[in-house]
Amino acid sequence: MNYANIKYCDIANGSGVRTTLFVSGCRLHCKNCFNEEAWSFSAGEPFTPAVADKIVASLAPDYVNGLSVLGGEPTEPENQRGLVDFLERVRATYPDKDIWMYSGRTWEQITRGEWHIPGVTDRILATLDVLVDGPFVQDLYDITLRFRGSSNQRLIDVPATLRRGNVVLWQDDPVFATHMM
């Protein structure tokens, strides 16, 4: 797996201060994609053990809330296989920090469709706190939305959804949960 970028002290892709990893490779090709340069699976640099170590170390300070994984597309089969051990390591190392993942595919596609990889996808989902799902749709773009670009995208509370068996939305801080600001 290659990665296109890493942002440290990121506040745009999840709650609080985060380390954000952008993996390379996406076959979805949404219109007006924010990160077209990451469509190629060979974009960027190899995700080596040294890179993984650096990310894990960056999560240690108390002011860092957690890790976010974007793309490219993390649910491409190559990327799921490249991420699963790393995400389990982050979860085990920092049980009190949160892990967010952004996918252009829906929860239903990831959990029941062709993108569900036996022995891999469920392990990834077990590490996540929030999955932001669905493609970016330009016609549904809304600048007032937090942590997502278009209104079709959902912020899914993954542990609650796995427990309940149907999609449970993540609850934002009440002050941000409406457009009343």
Comparison of 13 and 19: residue with beta carbon closer to ligand SF4: 13
Using CB atoms within 10 A of its CB, is residue 42 exposed (0-12), middle (13-18) or buried (19+)? exposed
Least spacing, CB of residue 31 vs ligand SF4, in Å: 9
Distance of CA 103 to the CA centre of its chain: 6
Least spacing, CB of residue 150 vs ligand SF4, in Å: 10
Tokens of 22: 């952008």
Q: Which residues bind ligand SF4 (CB under 6 A)?
A: 26, 28-30, 33-35, 38, 71-73, 104, 135-136
Least spacing, CB of residue 63 vs ligand SF4, in Å: 28
Residue nearest to ligand SF4 (CB): 104
Comparison of 86 and 102: residue with beta carbon closer to ligand SF4: 102
Least spacing, CB of residue 134 vs ligand SF4, in Å: 9
Tokens of 55: 């990310």
Comparison of 28 and 168: residue with beta carbon closer to ligand SF4: 28
Backbone region of residue 14 per phi and psi (left: phi > 0; alpha: psi in -120 to 50; beta: other values) = left
C-beta separation of 151 from 163 below 8 A: no
- Indicate the pairing of strand 98-102 with strand 130-133: parallel
Least spacing, CB of residue 49 vs ligand SF4, in Å: 25
Comparison of 38 and 131: residue with beta carbon closer to ligand SF4: 38
Comparison of 17 and 28: residue with beta carbon closer to ligand SF4: 28
Using CB atoms within 10 A of its CB, is residue 5 exposed (0-12), middle (13-18) or buried (19+)? middle
